[in-house]
Structure 1
Amino acid sequence: MNQDHIQVGLHSEIGKLQAVLLHTPGPEIEAMTPENAHDALYSDILNKSIVDNEYRFFAGTLSRCTRVYQVQELLAEVLENTSLAEELVRKSCAADGCDFLVDELLQLPPQELARTLIEGFTYRKGKDDPRYEAERYILKPLYNLFFTRDALSCVFDRALVNTMSFQVRVRESLIYRAIFENHFGASAFSAVQYDPEARTEGGDVQIVRPDLLCVGCGIRTNPAGIQSLMQAHRHLPRFSIIAQELPLAPESFIHLDMVFTFLGPHTCMAYEPLIRKTGIFSGKKTTLITYDNGQTSTREFPDILAALKSQGIDLEPVFCGGSDPWVQQREQWHSGANFFAFAPDHIIGYRRNTHTIEALNRAGFDVLAAEEVCAGREDPFAHKKCVVTFAASELPRGGGGARCMTCPISREAVEY
C-alpha cells in the first residue's frame, strides 16, 4: 500500500493545521432508539437530515483551511490489502462476539466492507440467530465514529491508540490503528502496553508543546492511563503532564476538552468553575508530574492555569458562557468550551453558545459565519484573530463539539 506523504507531527494544540481526519456522520447515528441510546453513549437520538446540514459547514470550513481526510475512504483503501482486511475483520468480530461473521464479511468488496464495519451488520430474520433480533444488529454500528478525536491521538510524532472506557467504542481504535499504521506509516503505541488497566481517550489529551501535555483524569481517562503516558515518554530527557481531575458526572464533563481548550499562544477557553475550583470542581486536584533525567516528581497547583504558568505558558482565559454562572452551565452543557484551533487564534465552534461567542468577540476575536467561509466570501486568515461559528442544534446532542469531531494529524510548529 502507498503510504501518504503527510506524516504524523503534532506538537501543540494551536499550530497551523496541515492535515485533519474527519468522519462525516452516516446512517450509524440513526441506528438507535430511545431505549438503547444510552448504551450507544448518547443522551438523545439524532435527526440525520439536520446533522447533515450542520456538519456540511463544519467540514467545509476546515477543507477551506487545511487538508481533510475521511475515515471511511481511508478504511476502504486499507481493506484493499486482503491480509489487513482479514486481521481487522477478525479483531472487529471478536470485539463484538460474532466470530461466525468473519468469512461472510471477508467476501465483501473493500468499500462495502468499510461501510459495514462502520454502519453495522443487520440481523436477518430466518437466517441469523434469533437472539440478535431484539438488538437489530449483529455487528453493532459505530455510533460515535464522527467524534474522531477520542479513539486515536497524534502525540508528537507517534499515534496513541486509545484504550476506550466503553465496549461500544472499542472497535473504533482498531480502525484508527489500521489507518494510521498503513496509510500514514505512523508508529503506534497504547497505554495498555504499560498497564492493562490503563484507559485513555483523546478528548482528555491536549498537547501543549513537545515536552508537555495536559491530560484530564475522570470517567474516560484514569490514573493508570496518565502514568502509562508518562512511561511512554521516558525516552525524552524531560517530560511533564499536567493532570486535571474531572467530575465523574454529569456527562458533559467526560473529557478535559469539555471544560478547557487552547485558542492561541496567550488565550484559552475555560469553564470558570474549573479555574475557580467552585461547585462541581471544588476539591478537584491539578497535579504537575515531571520526569527529568531519570527522576519523577509531582507538585500540586491551585488550578490548570497556575500549573501552565509554572511551565512558562501564561494564558488569559475566556470564560464559557461569559460571567453569568447560570449561562455558563447552560452553554458548557452544549460544548461551549469545546473549540478547535486550526491556526493560532483561529478557531471554530458552535454558534448556539451566544454568550461564549460574545465573550470571544470582546477578547478580540472577529466572528465569522461558516456559511460565508464555505462560500469563499470570508477568509479566516485575513483576520488576526477569529472564531468561525456554525449552526448546530442536533450535533451537540451527540455529546461533543468541534474539537471532539477532529483528529488532527499534523500542525506547523508554534512558539508560545
Structure 2
Amino acid sequence: MMNQDAIEIINPSCQDQTHAVKAEKMTKINIDITSEIGSLKSVLLRRPGEELNNLTPETLDELLFDDIPFLENAQKEHDAFANMLDALGVNVLYLEDLVGDVLKNKEVAGAFIHEFLSVSNITTPKLIDALSEHLSDYSGKALAQKLMSGLKKNELDYQDVSLNGQVNKADLFWLNPVPNLYFTRDPASSIGNMVLLNSMFAKTRKRESLFIESIFKHHSGFKHNKVLNSSAFNASIEGGDILVLDKHTLAIGISQRTSAHAIEKFAFELFFNDELKVHHQINKILAFHIPSSRAFMHLDTVLTQVDLHKMTMHQGIVGKTQIYRLTPGMHRNVESRLLAGSIENTLANELDKDIQIIYCGGRDSINGSREQWSDGANTLAVKPGEVFVYQRNRMTNQILENRGVSVHKMPCSELSRGRGGPRCMSMPLERSKL
C-alpha cells in the first residue's frame, strides 16, 4: 500500500487508461448493501474533472461550494483515495466510464441530452436544437465529460434573442458545470438489493441523478437491478442522509437536504410496495431530526458507523436531535413515534446491542466544531473497525485509533473544499454480509 501521508502523482492520461481497463473487466454488479461496515467489495466514484475549473467566485453559492479547489491536486488526492481502496481489494468503478459506455449508443445519447437540457431548464426550442446539435458531436465518455464539466457560451456560436436569453445574456455558460458530482453518495443509495434514485434538494444538483439513472437503465452490468425513483415523492431526499444500520434498519436524517415528507413517502414504499419488498428486509426507519444548517447538511456529516458497536458523532447534535421510529402500521399506514433518551441509548435499544460513541474532535468543543467542518465524522468503512478518514482531522483520527479503529488517512487539502468526506465521495455497491 502506498504511504498514506503522501499524494501519488499520476499522469491524467494514464489514469484514464487505467479506468478504461477496469471498466472493460467489469462483470454484472448485483447491488448488495445490508450494513455500513461489511467488507466493501465494489464502489462507485467520480474522479473530479474540468467542472472544478469551471467554478467562478460569482457562481460558488449557486453551485454549493465555499471555495474553488485546485483541480490538479484534487485529482491527485482522489487518485490516492482510489488506489488505497484498490490496494485493499475493493473493485473501484468510475461514474464517467460507466456513463460513457451508455452514451456510446446514439439513440440513448440523444434521449439523455434531451432530458439533461430539460432538467437544466433549457426551454427555448431554438436553443434546445442548437445545444443538441453541438452536443451530438461528442460521443461516449467525451459526451459524459462535457455534460459534467459544463458548456461555456464561447464554445457555441449562437445568439439567444429570446426574452430569457437577453435577460441572462451576462451568464458565462449555456450549461452550468456539475461540480458536486464527485460526491457520488448523494444522487443514489444502495439499500439491500435495490437502489433508491434520489431527488436532490438544490436545483443545481438535480442533474446528478440522471447520470446514475442512465447506468441502471442502460448499462449491461447494472440494468438488472431494482431501482426506486424518488422523483414521485415531490420532496427532496439525498444519500448523505441515509445510513444502512443493519439489514432491517435504516437511519435517515431530516436535514437541510432531506425532508420528513420524503422519508415518510420512502417508508411507505419500503413497507408496502410488494415489488420492492423482495429486494430488501427493512422494517424500521430511525428518522434523525438534526439541526438544519450548512455545517450539518447531511446526517453523515455528524454521525457514521465505524465498527460493530462504535459510531463517530459530532457532539454539536447532542440535545438538539429528535429521533422518530417509523414502522409498518395497520391499514397500510406508516406509524411514527418520537423516542426518548440519548442518541447513544436510543441506538442501543433499537439495534439491540451496545453502542459506543466516539466524538469527532473529542470533548473539546473547538476541536469538535473545526474537525466536523472538515468532515471528521464522515468516515467510510471498508470493513468493521477499518475506515477511511481525511488526513487533516488529526484529533479525531487519533481518538479513533486509541479506541481500536484502524484508519486510512487520505490527503484532502483540495477535496475537502467541496464540503464532503470519504463517505460522501463513495457510493458502495456491494458489501459482505456481517
TM-score of the two chains, using structure 1 as the length reference: 0.88
Change (3 A) 1:354 1:104: same
Task: Provide the residue aligned with 2:187 in structure 1.
Answer: 151
Task: Give the superposition deviation at 1:133.
Answer: 5.5
Task: Provide the residue aligned with 1:187 in structure 2.
Answer: 226
Task: Provide the residue aligned with 2:290 in structure 1.
Answer: 246
Q: Is the 8 A contact 1:192 1:228 kept in 2?
A: no
Task: Give the superposition deviation at 1:231.
Answer: 1.1
Task: Provide the residue aligned with 2:134 in structure 1.
Answer: 104
**CA offsets 1:250-297 (integer angstroms, 9 cap, x no match):** x120000000001111111111232x31xxx2xx31111111575643
1:320 and 2:360 correspond: yes
Q: Is the 8 A contact 2:187 2:212 kept in 1?
A: yes
Task: Provide the residue aligned with 2:246 in structure 1.
Answer: 209
**CA offsets 1:188-220 (integer angstroms, 9 cap, x no match):** 112333x32x21100000111222100000110
Q: Is the 8 A contact 2:247 2:282 kept in 1?
A: no
**CA offsets 1:323-372 (integer angstroms, 9 cap, x no match):** 2111101110111100000111110011111110111121013xxxxxxx
Task: Give the superposition deviation at 1:106.
Answer: 2.4
Task: Give the superposition deviation at 1:93.
Answer: 0.7
Aligned residues: 384
CA distance in 2, matches of 1:212, 1:204: 14
Task: Provide the residue aligned with 2:62 in structure 1.
Answer: 39
Task: Give the superposition deviation at 1:394.
Answer: 1.7
Q: Is the 8 A contact 2:32 2:191 kept in 1?
A: yes
Q: What is the one-letter code of the residue matched to 1:160? A: L
* Residue of structure 2 aligned with 1:234, choices 251, 255, 271: 271
CA distance in 1, matches of 2:300, 2:397: 17
Task: Provide the residue aligned with 1:262 in structure 2.
Answer: 305
**CA offsets 1:12-34 (integer angstroms, 9 cap, x no match):** 11111110000110110121111
Task: Give the superposition deviation at 1:319.
Answer: 0.7
1:310 and 2:349 correspond: yes
Change (3 A) 1:4 1:86: farther
Q: Is the 8 A contact 2:267 2:334 kept in 1?
A: no
Q: Is the 8 A contact 1:266 1:316 kept in 2?
A: yes
Task: Give the superposition deviation at 1:238.
Answer: 6.4
Matching of residues 362-377 of structure 1 within 5 Å = 362-365=402-405
* Residue of structure 2 aligned with 1:113, choices 137, 143, 146: 143
CA distance in 2, matches of 1:321, 1:302: 23
* Residue of structure 1 aligned with 2:73, choices 26, 46, 50: 50
CA distance in 1, matches of 2:71, 2:346: 41
Task: Provide the residue aligned with 1:341 in structure 2.
Answer: 381
CA distance in 2, matches of 1:126, 1:400: 33
- Aligned-pair identity in percent equals 29
1:63 and 2:89 correspond: no
Q: What is the one-letter code of the residue matched to 2:246? A: R
* Residue of structure 2 aligned with 1:329, choices 369, 377, 398: 369
Task: Provide the residue aligned with 2:336 in structure 1.
Answer: 298
Task: Provide the residue aligned with 2:17 in structure 1.
Answer: none
Q: What is the one-letter code of the residue matched to 2:118? A: A
Q: Is the 8 A contact 2:32 2:193 kept in 1?
A: yes
1:82 and 2:121 correspond: no
1:24 and 2:24 correspond: no
Task: Give the superposition deviation at 1:150.
Answer: 0.3
Task: Provide the residue aligned with 2:4 in structure 1.
Answer: none
Matching of residues 2-21 of structure 1 within 5 Å = 4-21=27-44
Task: Provide the residue aligned with 1:164 in structure 2.
Answer: 200
Task: Give the superposition deviation at 1:391.
Answer: 2.2
CA distance in 2, matches of 1:342, 1:139: 36
What secondary structure, in the 3-state scheme, does the structure 1 residue paired with 2:284 have?
strand
Task: Give the superposition deviation at 1:81.
Answer: 2.0
Alignment RMSD (CA, Å): 1.9
Task: Give the superposition deviation at 1:126.
Answer: 7.9
CA distance in 2, matches of 1:361, 1:346: 10
Task: Provide the residue aligned with 2:14 in structure 1.
Answer: none
Task: Give the superposition deviation at 1:302.
Answer: 2.7
Q: Is the 8 A contact 2:188 2:239 kept in 1?
A: yes
What secondary structure, in the 3-state scheme, does the structure 1 residue paired with 2:257 have?
coil
Q: Is the 8 A contact 2:46 2:184 kept in 1?
A: yes
What secondary structure, in the 3-state scheme, does the structure 2 residue paired with 1:227 have?
helix
Task: Provide the residue aligned with 1:399 in structure 2.
Answer: 419
Task: Provide the residue aligned with 2:7 in structure 1.
Answer: none
**CA offsets 1:360-415 (integer angstroms, 9 cap, x no match):** 121013xxxxxxxxxxxxxxxxxxxx11002222211111100000011111111x
Task: Provide the residue aligned with 2:398 in structure 1.
Answer: 358
Q: What is the one-letter code of the residue matched to 2:92? A: V
What secondary structure, in the 3-state scheme, does the structure 2 residue paired with 1:84 have?
helix
TM-score of the two chains, using structure 2 as the length reference: 0.84
1:91 and 2:154 correspond: no
CA distance in 2, matches of 1:238, 1:319: 28
Q: Is the 8 A contact 1:242 1:307 kept in 2?
A: no
Q: What is the one-letter code of the residue matched to 1:333? A: W
Task: Provide the residue aligned with 2:5 in structure 1.
Answer: none
1:222 and 2:259 correspond: yes
What secondary structure, in the 3-state scheme, does the structure 2 residue paired with 1:253 have?
coil
**CA offsets 1:290-316 (integer angstroms, 9 cap, x no match):** 115756433323343333222214321
Q: What is the one-letter code of the residue matched to 1:213? A: L
CA distance in 1, matches of 2:329, 2:27: 35
CA distance in 2, matches of 1:92, 1:206: 29
CA distance in 1, matches of 2:45, 2:315: 30
Task: Give the superposition deviation at 1:96.
Answer: 1.4
Task: Provide the residue aligned with 1:369 in structure 2.
Answer: none
Q: What is the one-letter code of the residue matched to 1:107? A: D
Q: What is the one-letter code of the residue matched to 1:26? A: G
